[in-house]
């Protein structure tokens, strides 16, 4: 089991292992709803990965309820359904404008796939830099698609919604303008 597990590819860039911990594998593989959510999520991230041209490092994918509680996730967190993941990437300072633009453009221009998109920022030598991203595929409540762009300052977890132009808001936050 273990050997196969590490090799299961969801698509060109992502393996199942990146989204599901080994201890959860059995439960996820026997739950078609969660499994298909993870595949959908990974496919969107594959498209983003191609656009950015850099590896996306998944830091948290599917969470079982116990793990979700431990990391302080919301009671109804999309992570519990395999509909959300947190990721980061390694970048040089001079790349940040381009990469940030690509990320925001991707989510802004793909209306139909946008669910929740949160950037967590960390203060780095006097500048706010994106440190982590959270992306969730759309979920529906009463037939209404939730479409949310949010930014967050690390630690406070106080969300500030993008009011007009998310890229402008991002640029302001990271101190480019
Ligand atoms: Zn998350």
Q: How far is the CA of 120 from the centre of ligand 1 (A)?
A: 10
- Would you place residue 87 in the very low, low, confident or very high pLDDT band (cuts 50, 70, 90)? very high
**Residue % of the chain over a pLDDT of 70:** 69
Q: How far is the CA of 78 from the centre of ligand 1 (A)?
A: 8
Q: How far is the CA of 173 from the centre of ligand 1 (A)?
A: 20
- Would you place residue 120 in the very low, low, confident or very high pLDDT band (cuts 50, 70, 90)? confident
Q: How far is the CA of 85 from the centre of ligand 1 (A)?
A: 5
3-state class (DSSP) for residue 1:
coil
**DSSP letters spanning 87-149:** EE----GGGHHHHHHHHHHHHHH-GGG--EEEEEEEEETTEEEEEEEEEE---EETTEE--EE
- Would you place residue 121 in the very low, low, confident or very high pLDDT band (cuts 50, 70, 90)? confident
C-alpha span between 4 and 28 (Å, rounded):
15
Taking only the tens place, the pLDDT of each residue in 11-49 is 999 999 999 999 999 999 999 999 999 999 999 999 999
Taking only the tens place, the pLDDT of each residue in 124-147 is 676 666 778 888 887 665 555 555
Structural domains of the chain sorted by starting position, each given as residue range(s) with its CATH number in brackets: 3-176 (3.30.1380.10)
- Would you place residue 73 in the very low, low, confident or very high pLDDT band (cuts 50, 70, 90)? confident
The pTM of this model reads 0.82
Q: Are strands 140-141 and 127-136 parallel, antiparallel or unpaired?
A: unpaired
Q: How far is the CA of 126 from the centre of ligand 1 (A)?
A: 25
Is residue 151 within a helix (H) or strand (E), and if so which, with residue range?
A: strand 148-153
C-alpha span between 172 and 74 (Å, rounded):
28
Q: How far is the CA of 143 from the centre of ligand 1 (A)?
A: 23
């Amino acid at each position: 089991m273990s050997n196969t597990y590490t090799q299961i590819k969801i698509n060109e860039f992502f393996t199942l292992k990146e989204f599901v911990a080994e201890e959860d594998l059995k439960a996820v593989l026997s739950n078609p709803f969660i499994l298909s959510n993870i595949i959908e999520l990974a496919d969107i991230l594959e498209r983003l990965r191609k656009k950015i041209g850099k590896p996306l490092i998944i830091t948290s994918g599917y969470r079982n309820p116990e793990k979700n509680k431990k990391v302080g996730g919301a009671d109804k967190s999309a992570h519990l359904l395999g509909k959300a993941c947190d990721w980061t990437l390694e970048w040089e300072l001079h790349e940040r404008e381009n990469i940030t633009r690509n990320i925001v453009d991707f989510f802004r221009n793909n209306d139909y796939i946008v669910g929740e998109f949160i950037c967590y920022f960390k203060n780095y030598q006097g500048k706010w830099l994106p440190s982590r991203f959270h992306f969730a595929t759309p979920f529906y409540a009463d037939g209404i698609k939730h479409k949310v762009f949010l930014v967050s300052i690390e630690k406070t977890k106080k969300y500030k919604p993008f009011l007009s132009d998310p890229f402008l808001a991002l640029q302001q936050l990271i101190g480019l303008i």
